[in-house]
Amino acid sequence: MIKYEIGKQFSHPQYLGKGEITVAMLNTAFFDVVCVLNGIKPNERKDWRKGKLTVCLYEQANIPFICFVFESWNFDVNINISKVQPDKIDDWLNSEGNIINLFLIDAITGKLEAMRMISIPQSMAERIRDICEQQSVNNLSQIDKTIQATLSGISTQFMIQHAEIKFKL
């Protein structure tokens, strides 16, 4: 079992030392979000732990983009089903989990600055999995190229404005 502790080095070194990144870390239940930022501001840390949060789902080319919207800032993360081990894809697609752990990491120190566990509606979790199931029947090698093309042409703000599902916590 992995232990996470505020102020300690983040337990997944593969996400450290790459500058600012935000990734979905798929797990047996659903997914976690790893957000690595430079110069985390006190309001960002506070928002992360207990601020008002809206979660939005935007789909582009069978790729779910999940946007996390705080009062004064936001970010998005996408899910690439090809990142799941091939023998575990069916289990992930058929699970019923809807819990997302959010991890905020300092890019310079690699330390965990804040974390939060949220639960989204089951219908939203099912929709994310449905999109990923459609993605899994496509050419998995093309997913990263499609994600990069989408991110270079569409802003997080556009995704938020055109989201098919929005949920306020």
Q: What is the DSSP string of 15-67?
A: GSSSSSEEEEEE-SSSEEEEEEESS--HHHHHHHHHS--EEEEEEETTEEEEE
Mean pLDDT by 10 residues, the chain (169 residues): 91 92 90 96 94 97 96 95 82 92 96 97 97 78 87 95 96
For residue 51, is it within any domain?
yes
Of 119, 120, 115, 25, nearest in space to 79 by CA: 25
- Please indicate, yes or no, if residue 43 is contained in any of the structural domains: yes
pLDDT at 129: 95
pTM: 0.93
Q: How confident is the model at residue 136, as a pLDDT?
A: 66
In a domain, 1, yes or no: no
Give the chain's domain count.
1
The reply to whether 7 falls in a domain is no
What local confidence, expressed as pLDDT, does residue 153 receive? 94
Expressed as residue numbers, the domain containing 152 is 13-168
Residue among 85, 83, 91 nearest 141 (CA): 83
Q: Considering the domain boundaries, does residue 2 fall inside one? A: no
The confidence score (pLDDT) of residue 138 equals 65
Integer angstrom CA distances of residue 167 from 50, 51, 85, 121: 16, 14, 29, 8
Looking at the domain assignment, is residue 115 inside a domain?
Answer: yes
